[in-house]
Amino acid sequence: MQGLIGKKIGMTSLFDENGRYVACTVLQAGPCVVTQVKTKERDGYSAIQLGFEDKKEKHATKPEIGHFKKANTAPKRKVAEFTGYEEGQLTVGESLTVEVFRNDNWVDVRGWSKGKGFQGVVKRHGFSGVGGVTHGQHNRGRAPGSLGASSFPSRVMPGMRMAGQHGNKKVMSISMRIMKIMEKDNMLLVKGSVPGPKGSYVIILK
């Protein structure tokens, strides 16, 4: 599960080696600072904690400031843990860049989808509606219809697809092909779309 914290910059397109026009997402991958190293002896498991993108000290709490000072770095806006690194491979304060993915062709990208607010069943679950507008029917085209319960069991069953909060969920796009690595700018171009709006944080996994 080695990887980096990144940010979604936007989308672009380029030609691949076969001359096909491919839509790509531009990701800023790092630089990330190792803010903590966890070991099996002390913490019960092996992992590293990475921090991404500086923020001002006035926007950080005192515990955060003290934690990041141990790594000799400024407070970070986004922090995440990663496994898959061997103990002793990295030290606190070390910086990781997009070069982590230099020899890889595929990555998984995890982010949060755009929040759509409270939505009905047509948008949220893809219902087709209840049909035409004949027989004096009024404002029923996007209604959910019958819920299926009668005198038994006289209740709405758990998991019934109904209106509610839509979006704003953790989503992972798996097996995304790396189309281009721009080491100078810490940019990564991957084929296809990545969940979330522009400027949102993502987790990029090898």
Domains of the chain: 3-129+160-205 (2.40.30.10)
What pLDDT, on a 0 to 100 scale, did the predictor assign at position 123? Answer: 95
Which residues pair with residue 52 across a beta bridge? 32, 78
3-state helix, strand, coil in the chain (%, to 5): 10, 40, 45
Residue 55's pLDDT is what?
92
Q: What is the pLDDT of residues 99-118, one digit of tens each?
A: 888 877 899 999 999 999 99
Cα dihedral 23, 97, 100, 171 sign:
negative
d(CA 102, CA 88): 21
User: What pLDDT is attached to residue 82?
Assistant: 92
Question: What pLDDT, on a 0 to 100 scale, did the predictor assign at position 10?
Answer: 95
The DSSP H or E segment spanning 121 is: helix 121-125
Supply the pLDDT for residue 84: 82
In the three-class reduction of DSSP (H, G, I as helix; E, B as strand; rest coil), residue 40 is classed as helix
Q: Would you call 153 exposed, middle or buried from its count of C-beta atoms within 10 A (0-12, 13-18, 19+)?
A: exposed
pLDDT at site 145: 83
Segments in the chain below pLDDT 70 = 1, 131-134
